[in-house]
Amino acid sequence: MLKQTMKMHFAHANGFPAGSYNKLFNHLSPQFEVFALDKFAHNEHFPLNDNWQNQVDELIAFVEQHISPGEKVVAVGHSFGAVTSYMAVCQKPHLFSQLIMLDPPLITGLARYIFRFAKSNKLIDKITPAGITSFRAKSWKHGTDLVEYFSKKALFKDFDRECLQDYVNAVITEQEQDLTLNFDVETEANIFRTIPHNLPNYYNKLTVPTTLITGKFSDVCVPVLYKPFLRGNKEIKHRIFPTGKHMFPLEFPVELAAVLNELIKND
């Protein structure tokens, strides 16, 4: 008997359009029908706002467009996408059967008061990547080997090579004069500047099986931040991905696909 297909929505990390994760998607079980919004916060109907509420609404609207009445999907998100998925599942639980969060930036405990203050001034550019992002390169000459270019950057140096190629394919548009980023850099920076500091508002609202997966060497989803989150969401299962940093979904996509296949099968 053929297994029934299961829909999975994947929400990407900030600055990494959905196509960046193609290798991960290609190693998921054929049982899963993966759909993903290419770029969040680039739709005039869902302009970026504080605490990412419009992006939660954007995610919900996108999911509703891709399912039939009464159908549910598995929500998987990385970083920014993990946080927006969490809030979406809390707000619209009837749309989702399971949630898997991959190394989300969880602003919890005392950190949320610091971030709430920092968001009102320039400090937010120093405690998030926003300041650096605003000054990133946006175009390159034709013929530039962008896989090689990005591989020398700290964030990308441990990426799986095929994932790095997928990332370049996802973010670059070939213009007549040069190669350019196809997303708005200032929007990317502003996503960092509006990171949610209100996650406790959602505590104890999860009604679907949820797993938090953190990278063993992550410097983003660290114990001082995820432990208060787990205390506020006591039903969440936590597991540590055995290697990799914050970007482990693009560093070890095949290994992560195996974990996701097993997690979703078991639940």
SS (H, E, C) 199-230: HHHHCCCCCCCEEEEEECCCCCCCHHHHHHHH
Write down all domains in the chain, each with its CATH number in brackets.
6-266 (3.40.50.1820)
pLDDT the model gives residue 98? 97
Q: Which amino acid is at 115?
A: F
Average pLDDT of the residues in 141-170: 96
Contact call for residues 91 and 115 (beta carbons, < 8 A): no
Condensed to tens digits (0 to 9), the pLDDT of residues 30-84 reads 999 999 999 999 999 999 999 999 999 999 999 999 999 999 999 999 999 999 9
CB count within 10 Å of CB 43 equals 15
Contact call for residues 102 and 127 (beta carbons, < 8 A): no
Average pLDDT of the residues in 213-231: 97
